[in-house]
Chain A
Amino acid sequence: DAKTTQPTSMDCAEGRAANLPCNHSTISGNEYVYWYRQIHSQGPQYIIHGLKNNETNEMASLIITEDRKSSTLILPHATLRDTAVYYCIVRAFNDYKLSFGAGTTVTVRA
């Protein structure tokens, strides 16, 4: 019962912005959009989350459409170390568990 849809893979040039789309057309009013990433041989790493306003932190920016049916994670200046699988998920604020699908495999090329 997939709640989000992401492209399977994408390439990005080092130093350029990487824009990762995610569709979540069935998102509920109390569900947040979360982004995690998993670098090879490591555990998942939290990136950012948001409800309806755009969010920015030291790692990335999250742009959520006004109807909340889709969002975009922006890595402003991609580096080789950003090569990873990126997961977009929706979950209620008090939901105790995470569940990832296949995610988007992002490859940053020099």
Chain B
Amino acid sequence: KAGVTQTPRYLIKTRGQQVTLSCSPISGHRSVSWYQQTPGQGLQFLFEYFSETQRNKGNFPGRFSGRQFSNSRSEMNVSTLELGDSALYLCASSLRLAINEQFFGPGTRLTVL
């Protein structure tokens, strides 16, 4: 069974631009969570989607948004990029909401210049 895939793997943007990241969960998994990982802050929860609805949200500004499609694939968008948004963005999928075992993708490394 294929794992979680994320595209693109690397991205370089400049301040003020916007970016869209994509995540394809493991087949059959309906929950997708997004995380931001930085050396200073560690892993931080962004949001979780289930059945095309955002079910849980972390403490990030409104510039961070996401959506989930009927096939469970998910995208996250960051508008008006800031230097501090440089990070590894991770997607994790699980069978259901708030389940013990989440499977992570390799992440998208975003660099904002």
Interface residues of chain A: helix, strand, loop or mixed (majority): loop
Name, among A94, A97, A101, the residue most crowded by chain B CB atoms within 10 Å (CB to CB). A97
Rounded to whole angstroms, the CA-CA distance of A42 and B42 in the bound complex is 15
Interface size range on A against B = 20 to 34
Report the contact-size class of chain B (Cβ under 8 Å from the partner): 20 to 34
**Residue from A45, A97, A100 within 8 A of B33 (CB atoms):** A97
> What 1/0 mask marks residues of chain B from 76 to 113 whose CB sits below 8 Å from any chain A CB?
00000000000000111000011011111111000000
The chain B residue sitting closest to A46, CB to CB, is: B101
Max chain A CB contacts within 10 Å: which of B35, B37, B43, B48? B43
A98 CB, min distance to chain B CBs, angstroms: 6
Q: In the assembly, what is the distance between CA of A59 and CA of B102, in Å?
A: 16
Would A43 and B55 count as touching, CB distance under 8 A?
A: no
- B106 lies within 8 A of A41 (CB): yes
Tell me whether B58 and A97 are in contact (CB under 8 A). yes
Residues of A within 8 A of B101 (CB): 46
